[in-house]
Chain A
Amino acid sequence: MNDMTFVERTVDTRQTKIAAKNVQVYYGETHAIKDVNVEIEDKTVTAFIGPSGCGKSTFLRCLNRMNDTIDICRVQGDILLDGEDIYDKRVDPVQLRAKVGMVFQKPNPFPKSIYDNVAYGPRIHGLAKNKAELDEIVEKSLRRGAIWDEVKDRLDAPGTGLSGGQQQRLCIARAVATEPEVLLMDEPCSALDPIATAQVEELIDDLRQRYSVVIVTHSMQQAARVSQKTAFFHLGNLVEFGETGQIFTNPEDPRTESYITGRIG
């Protein structure tokens, strides 16, 4: 683990963007998330790491209420966004998801043109006053998704016709286009080559200037490179949460240490 370099960390205290308190998630009888408490800060990249099936995606999906779409899923506890409970009856999940965007584990472009894929969110939320503005948003988003150069000549081609890695970057561009305040990314780089990965990591670092980003990753190096905070999940429990440097160099829990040194996984 000596090859890991850490991002220069700003010391000033940041505001809490999302606060999760005593969150429990059940799929039917399965208890998938057990009593998780976490504070996700504004203008920060938070990495979720942990072995497969430990509940990273599940917890991530709680943060923008995507779990509502799964019939058997029940969420308990409080999740506060800017101090407001997002599971409150008065909160409109549709509005919430516009603020808390998401990039999924598997690329899922719509069966539309590349342009329409990116323009989808801005159109729904009326972010562009006219076509020229929309064009601008689309171009900017595709550039931030590190895919502009590859698709700029075929914006009318179907998004489903791109390669897996290109599709994933398209999905990132699509999520960025709605200008969310929080971006949840579920293994965004699992289908990308090292160059595209570096570009996406650059994007994440760039997004940090304005938003808060939560990224699930199986790559320790990536977590170390891009994040300021790291949360380690194991079997539905949040085992350890803290400064990334702290977690990787001096973990408190023996389970965290075994995982990052490759002994459990």
Chain B
Amino acid sequence: MPTLWLVIALLALSALGFVLGRQRAMQSAGGDTRALHSLPIYYGLNVGLTALLPALAVLLVWLFAQPMFIENQISDMIPAELIPENSTRDLVMSDVRRVAAGLDLAVEQGALTETAAANLRAELTDVRARLGEIGVALGSDVRPEVLDAAQEYRKMTATGNTVMTIVVALLALGGLAVSYARTHKDYRARNVVEQGVLALLILAASLAILTTVGIVLSMLFETMNFFSLHQWVDFFFGTTWAPNFRGDSELSILPLLWGTLYISFIALLVAVPVGLFAAIYLSEYASNTTRSIAKPLLEILAGIPTIVYGLFALLTVGPLLAGMFAKGGLLGVEWMAGATSVLTAGVVMGIMLIPFVSSLSDDIINAVPQTMRDGSLGLGATRSETVRQVVLPAALPGIVGAVLLAASRAIGETMIVVMGAGAIAKFSLNPLESMTTITTRIVSQLTGDTDFASPETLVAFALGLTLFVLTLGLNVLALYIVRKYREQYE
């Protein structure tokens, strides 16, 4: 845990800097805070943060970069002819890492001395057995070149850690010294701290954006792998989804897209009218007391985990529909084969979306100025005339935005579909048949024994990327519409 100690030392140094900076500033002003350019706390913060932040940043980058760098070096050390027939460089490298970690553990537990660990020879010792004794299980005997690489790995890591500690410590001390020397009653500590705060905020914002970019890039990469193994024509324009592991799978997105859109459509058919009418009632008709009770109740629905909705679909709605439409049901027809169907999933998903639609629409309807309603009521219009002819037209763009947001949630929903809609990919207009969606197929392609080189697995990334593009497009459209609407009343 040397890194943890390093961080603690940094924090302590920074705290010390804070106290010193304050003191020095007070001294230079002769104890009179009014003579200072900034409040004393800013001088303290300036010294403390200058000592802490650059050192911390370098530490973080170092921690990420060092293993990557070392692995590259070691990987280059292993000659290609030493990699066994049925293996890859990656597998050998993971062996190397395990052996190195095992040796570290052995030293830590005292099973080996540092020198003994460094001088282990695969020809003389059964490394696998030695490591097995302390609980590190290896898949095969350790070959000499792997052990050598592992030793090299440990050596480089140790050197790296030492250098890192020195650099970070120097940086922290240097920051402390420079900012301490600068502290003077005329020094604009407040402005410098302000810039520091700004930098911190920008860092946080760019982290969030960079992560998104990273996610998209990794998906893009795997998707490209997929398209190098599978024809894109079949993926986008084929009509059958039939994965198998014999190598002649038909992997077409269209049946899945159809299921996704069909279920989402039914969900919106349930959620939009109910949610919108609920919102109109709450914002236009309900008294304050009713609203204060009904609104939180409605919003509780939004807090229920989707898996619970899935159970509801599986245990209640599905059997209920089956009891009506399946063989031996109330209606005496045989339209439904089992409890899972598009309708089951769609209805339950619609229920899930009701609070989403209603609370968004409620906000939007409330944003329509009261004077607009007064104008209409003052002309002798009834409340529903006012809602229909003045309030809703004024709120329409916002409501459309809310519906699009709800649609993108419906498209991305997984649990309810897994439990309510079944797993059969097909084109059908009958809402009482089982169907499946993009999200559930992604899950099923990636669970179980997976081999990340086959198109049957990689298709999950292509599906995911398509889904991402779809919902992103919907969200952008929705936000655009909502924003356009906001401008009207500013």
List chain A positions with a Cβ less than 8 A from chain B: 64, 66, 69, 71, 94-99, 101-102, 104, 106, 108-112, 120-121, 124-125, 160, 171, 174-175, 178
Contact status of A69 and B371, CB under 8 A, knowing A97-B378, A174-B379: no
Distance of A250 Cα from B389 Cα, bound (Å)? 49
Contact A69 B381 (CB under 8 A): no
B3 located at the interface, meaning its Cβ lies under 8 Å from any Cβ of chain A in the complex: no
Contact B380 A98 (CB under 8 A): yes
Chain A residues whose C-beta falls within 8 Å of the C-beta of B377 in the assembled complex: 66, 69, 94, 97
Give the shortest distance, in Å, between B291 (CB) and chain A (any CB). 10
Contact B374 A120 (CB under 8 A): no
Chain B residues whose C-beta falls within 8 Å of the C-beta of A110 in the assembled complex: 372, 375-376, 389-390, 393-394
A-B contact count (CB 8 A): 71
Contact B380 A121 (CB under 8 A): yes
B385 located at the interface, meaning its Cβ lies under 8 Å from any Cβ of chain A in the complex: yes
Chain A residues whose C-beta falls within 8 Å of the C-beta of B369 in the assembled complex: 108
For this complex, 5 residue pairs linking A to B, each with C-beta atoms less than 8 Å apart, are A69-B374, A101-B380, A104-B375, A110-B376, A110-B394
Contact A104 B288 (CB under 8 A): no
Chain A residues whose C-beta falls within 8 Å of the C-beta of B370 in the assembled complex: 69
Contact status of A97 and B380, CB under 8 A, knowing A71-B288, A111-B394, A124-B385: yes
Distance of A102 Cα from B377 Cα, bound (Å)? 10
Give the shortest distance, in Å, between B395 (CB) and chain A (any CB). 10
7 smallest beta-carbon distances between A and B, as pairs: A98-B380, A108-B371, A102-B378, A108-B375, A97-B380, A121-B379, A111-B394
Per the 8 Å Cβ criterion, residues 359-378 of B in contact with A are 369-378
Give the shortest distance, in Å, between B122 (CB) and chain A (any CB). 81
Contact status of A101 and B378, CB under 8 A, knowing A71-B287, A71-B288: yes
Contact status of A101 and B287, CB under 8 A, knowing A106-B371, A110-B372: no
Chain A residues whose C-beta falls within 8 Å of the C-beta of B393 in the assembled complex: 110-112
Contact A108 B380 (CB under 8 A): no
Distance of A69 Cα from B370 Cα, bound (Å)? 10
B382 located at the interface, meaning its Cβ lies under 8 Å from any Cβ of chain A in the complex: yes
Give the shortest distance, in Å, between B373 (CB) and chain A (any CB). 7
Contact status of A108 and B372, CB under 8 A, knowing A71-B288, A120-B389, A160-B488: yes
Distance of A97 Cα from B379 Cα, bound (Å)? 6
Chain A residues whose C-beta falls within 8 Å of the C-beta of B389 in the assembled complex: 110, 120
Contact with A along B275-318 (1 / 0, CB 8 A): 00000000000011000000000000000000000000000000
Contact A94 B382 (CB under 8 A): yes
Distance of A69 Cα from B378 Cα, bound (Å)? 10
Distance of A99 Cα from B378 Cα, bound (Å)? 10
Distance of A113 Cα from B214 Cα, bound (Å)? 48
Distance of A47 Cα from B213 Cα, bound (Å)? 66
